[in-house]
A and B are shown apart, each in its own frame.
Chain A
Amino acid sequence: MSEQPDSGPALAVKVWRGRETGGFQEFRVPRQANQTVLDVVTWIQRHLDPTLSYRFACRVGMCGSCAMTVNGTPRWTCRTHVSKVEQGGAVTIAPLDNLPVVKDLAADMTAFFDKWQRAGGHFVPPEERPADFVAVPPGTRERRAADAGIECIGCGVCYAACDIVRWNPDYLGPAALNRAWTLVNDVRDAGGDARLAAVAGDAGCHACHSQENCRQHCPKHINPTAAIAGLKRATAVALLKGRL
């Protein structure tokens, strides 16, 4: 981040302090060229209040650590320019919705990642070792479906944006279901019908209303709603064929 302040009035930044209960604290932060929301949070911690807690790692949109609620919208803060989101020189920054708060801007991601496991969001190798490497031609339908969702960085933005998660805390959520769908389409995977059973039902893909908040907010432009629709089809076929 450039240390050379731009001209113009300072940003008025409201930052959530506390846990589930708490309040917003206001800071004045100098504007800088190409400033991101993560830059703002870092500047506050380094110059104004070292007790401010937040989470980040890569700063380049790869790790999925720094997602926060910015002016009411879940975003990856390291790739969100202040100039894009400020409203009259003001920015309000809070932890992600739909997750407990550890402290200040750090949300507790435990439930989010536990649900990846509950959705069967991990590769299941076949019991017998394949004789050779499995060829996965890039043009096949399954490969294209897996490719569409595989770039998820697990930032939790979709989970925070999802109304169904808000209504039904058991709902697995868009990211976990998207991951399950990439594995359903992985020809090397042996998770099969057990995974389909894990993602079926009103805590799984069938709770989705297809409102596409996940698609709207995903910083990687993934469409979890399409993945969930795929799971709905796959589970229905499995049930009709007597496999579930």
Chain B
Amino acid sequence: MTVATEPRGELRLWLAQRASAAVLALCVAVHLALIIYAVRGGLSAAEILGRTRGSVAWLAFYLLFVAAVAVHAPIGVRTVLREMTAWRGRSLDLAAGAFGIFIAVFGARAVWGLFQ
């Protein structure tokens, strides 16, 4: 029986997306609950910053959230592009990687901005 070698990389990506999805399920639930809770007393920038500024717990939570999105979204977009277009190969992998770095950097920057 022939043993394919390339599928291992695809399997790792699939596993990474599954694992990040599990993290996202928790993060999104907490995030949505927080939104519903936070707007009850009226929503203001001061209130949000009052909660997040200096809070290591919220910093850690949202950095985890950003990390999970940065893993999950590029893999999914890459898969969609592979299925819906003829784009394959290294250029697509690099573009997906760049998209992940973009999400990670700007996401982390936003989270840090709320923490400072």
Residues of the A chain whose Cβ atoms lie less than 8 Å from the Cβ of B14: 206, 232, 236
When chains A and B are docked, how far (Å) is the Cα of A123 from the Cα of B97?
Answer: 40
Q: Does A235 contact B (CB under 8 A)?
A: yes
Cβ–Cβ contact B10 & A206, under 8 A: yes
Q: Which of A196-210 contact B (CB under 8 A)?
A: 197-198, 200-204, 206
Partner of A200, one of B2, B8, B83: B8
Contact A201 B4 (CB under 8 A): yes
Within 8 A of A (CB), among B1-57: 1-12, 14-15, 18
Known contacts A167-B84, A206-B14: does B7 contact A201 (CB below 8 Å)? Answer: yes
- A48 → B minimal CB distance (Å): 42
A179 to chain B, nearest CB (A): 13
Residues of A within 8 A of B3 (CB): 194, 197-198
**CA–CA, A244 and B83, complex, Å:** 25
Inter-chain contacts of A203 with B (CB < 8 A) = 7
CA distance A200 to B15 in the complex (A): 11
Cβ of B82 < 8 Å from any Cβ of A?
yes
Binary interface encoding of chain B residues 64-94 relative to chain A, with 1 for a CB under 8 A from any of its CBs, else 0: 0000000000000001001110000000000
A124 at the interface (CB under 8 A from B): yes
Residue of A with least CB distance to B5: A197
A168 beta carbon closer than 8 Å to chain B: yes
Task: Please state if B8 and A167 are interface contacts (CB–CB under 8 Å).
Answer: no
List, in ascending order, chain B residues with CB within 8 A of A235's CB.
11
Task: Check if A236 sits within 8 Å of B10, measured CB to CB.
Answer: no
Min CB gap A115→B, angstroms: 13
Chain B contacts of A232 at CB under 8 A?
A: 14
A239 in the interface (beta carbon within 8 A): yes
Residue of A nearest to B9 (CB): A201
* A167-B83, A167-B84 as given contacts; A206 in contact with B4, CB under 8 Å: no
Q: A61 at interface (Cβ–Cβ under 8 A)?
A: no
Chain B residues with CB under 8 Å of A120's CB are: 1
Tell me the complex Cα distance, A200–B4, Å.
8
Task: Report if A30 contacts B (CB, 8 A).
Answer: no
Question: Which residue of the partner chain, among A124, A191, A201, contacts B11 with CB atoms under 8 Å?
Answer: A201
From A204, which residue of chain B is reached at the shortest CB distance? B7
- Smallest beta-carbon distance B59→chain A, Å: 30
Q: Which residues of A contact B10 (CB under 8 A)?
A: 200-202, 206
Given contacts A202-B82, A239-B12, contact A195 B7 (CB under 8 A): no
Contact residues of A between 153 and 198, Cβ < 8 Å to B: 164, 167-168, 191, 194-195, 197-198
Q: Are B1 and A191 neighbours in the complex by a CB distance under 8 Å? A: yes
Cα–Cα distance between A148 and B1 once the two chains are bound (Å): 24
- Residues of A within 8 Å of B12, CB to CB, are 239
Are B11 and A206 interface neighbours, CB within 8 A?
yes
Instruction: Please name 20 pairs of A and B residues whose Cβ atoms are closer than 8 Å in the assembled complex, sorted by A.
Output: A124-B1, A168-B83, A194-B3, A197-B3, A197-B4, A197-B7, A198-B2, A198-B4, A200-B4, A200-B7, A201-B7, A201-B8, A202-B10, A206-B7, A206-B11, A235-B11, A239-B8, A239-B15, A240-B15, A244-B8
* Beyond A195-B1, A200-B10, 4 extra complex contacts between A and B, CB < 8 Å: A197-B7, A203-B7, A206-B14, A240-B15
